[in-house]
Amino acid sequence: MKRLAEPAAGDLNRRVTLRRRDDLPAADGTLVSEFSEEKQRWASIDPVGTAIYSGSVQVDDKITHRIILRFLGVVTIDFEVVYANVVYRVKRAIDMNGGHRFTLLEVEELGQLQPNGGLYA
């Protein structure tokens, strides 16, 4: 397997929030989102190329961006990343190059945070 280029000094230049999201049923039949395990991290955020995006859409598992941050251990698909009021859902997380130095997240951009705290547009 080809090694991925690890970030250089200064490449982790976005302050992101990584948080676990749980959707619970509300009394009125809607869902209420609860967030836990919030962590602030420096990261790089890059859009994926059109070939990767097109391929992921065909299998109904859209990947829009790759986010790299210092190694975090296990990150499940229950997590999302927030940067500049944009929310990204984690689709896959891997130990980048197997070195326990960086975590690579493949994510789907969900859109802007809603002011009422509800689900995303």
CATH number, position 19:
2.40.10.270
Q: In this predicted model, which residue has the larger pLDDT, 20 or 23?
A: 20
- Report how far residue 50's alpha carbon sits from residue 43's, in angstroms, rounded to the nearest whole number: 22
Residue 120 lies in a domain: no
d(CA 91, CA 58): 15
Q: What would the mean pLDDT of 31-52 be, rounded to a whole number?
A: 87
The pLDDT of residue 92 is 93
| Residue 121 within a domain | no
Domain membership flag for residue 68: yes
Residue 51 has pLDDT above 60, yes or no: no
Range of the domain at 51: 14-23+30-112
pLDDT score for 45: 96
> Is 7 a domain residue?
no
- Number of domains making up the chain: 1
The whole-model pTM stands at 0.83
Distance CA 64, CA 106 (A): 8
